[in-house]
Structure 1
Amino acid sequence: MAGVGDLIGQSVWDSEGVWVGQVVDVRMRKNRRADFGMQQQFTVSGLVVSHRRAPVMLGRTRDPGNRTSWLFKLLSRTLYTGSSIVSWDAVASTGNGEITLRKPAKALQRV
């Protein structure tokens, strides 16, 4: 995988070849290992996929404590109603601007 920024905007297809949407946000998880020193390490835990081509979230609506204001909550609910959360385990492949999933779109968790 190239980088997290390269995932934003990629088209997502399920295991049956059905278009699910585009990646609008990347969910990250902090590694709990203590041997990294001062630098914190993060891994991708999931993707937020929307069938709407709205502006991307890029995590800018949340502060470091994962809190958000009421205005951004309302805006994101409006823009991303019906979006899906895809766990990173469900991703079969990435590349060429497309992401392929291991499971059908019906099995994805809705936001």
Structure 2
Amino acid sequence: MTDQSMKTAKFGLGAVVRHRIYPFRGIVFDVDPVFDNTEEWWLAIPEEMRPRKDQPFYHLLAENAESEYVAYVSEQNLVPDTSGEALRHAGIAEVFVQDASGIYRVRDRHAN
């Protein structure tokens, strides 16, 4: 039995994506099945561009030409990044390892 109100995330951990509108790309390190940020954050987005809350939202180790940062982006605003260009975000090595085929996999974490 499937619950149609819960969408399956299109992108998994380690997926390399880019924003549909803005010039940045990144790697997915966490996924929220629906919006899980503050109302203030959501309302700060211009109304004509504000995404629906009932879709997956992705936490990205993101980068643009000038900087590296963490971004929170709705699924409707992401597309796969097929450029093949290397990502430079300093946080990637802490979270992921890249295999011989170029796929990013979450590093094994050992409990402290």
Could you tell me the TM-score, scaled by structure 1's length?
A: 0.33
The structure that is helix-richer by fraction is 1
Could you tell me the TM-score, scaled by structure 2's length?
A: 0.33
